[in-house]
C-alpha cells in the first residue's frame, strides 16, 4: 500500500480505532469506510513507514488533545441517537 493511500484513509482508520460502532457499520456495509482487510494493510504499512507512522501518531495525539479540552462538556440528551440515525439513514432526492 502506498503512502498516498494511507493518507487518504488515515482519519477513517483512527475513527475505527476509537469507535467500535463505526467499525461494525463499515464492516456491515451500512456506511463507507475502510474494510477490515484494508485497515490491516494500513496498520502494516504504518509499521514499516516512518512518515506514515508519524502522521498516525500525530492524528491520535491531536484527537486526544481535543477530547481532553471538551471532556467536561456534556452533549445534549438525544444527540447520540440523532447522529446514529443520520449516519444510518438513506435519503433519495429525485429532481
Phi, psi of 69 (to 5 degrees): -65, -30
pLDDT digits (tens, 9 = 90+) for 4-57: 888 888 888 888 888 888 888 888 888 888 888 888 999 999 999 999 999 999
Q: What is the pLDDT of residue 90?
A: 66
Q: What is the pLDDT of residue 91?
A: 67
- Over range 75-94, report the average pLDDT: 80
**Contacts for 11 with CB less than 8 Å, ≥ 6 apart:** 59
**CB hemisphere CA count around 52 (13 angstroms):** 22
88 pLDDT more than 80:
no
Amino acid at each position: 500500500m502506498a503512502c498516498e493511500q494511507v493518507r487518504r484513509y488515515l482519519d477513517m482508520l483512527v475513527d475505527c480505532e476509537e469507535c467500535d460502532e463505526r467499525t461494525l457499520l463499515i464492516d456491515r456495509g451500512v456506511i463507507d469506510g475502510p474494510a477490515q482487510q484494508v485497515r490491516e494493510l494500513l496498520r502494516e504499512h504504518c509499521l514499516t513507514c516512518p512518515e506514515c507512522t508519524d502522521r498516525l501518531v500525530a492524528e491520535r495525539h491531536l484527537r486526544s488533545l481535543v477530547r481532553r479540552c471538551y471532556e467536561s462538556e456534556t452533549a445534549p440528551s438525544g444527540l447520540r441517537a440523532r447522529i446514529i440515525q443520520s449516519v444510518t439513514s438513506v435519503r433519495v432526492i429525485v429532481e
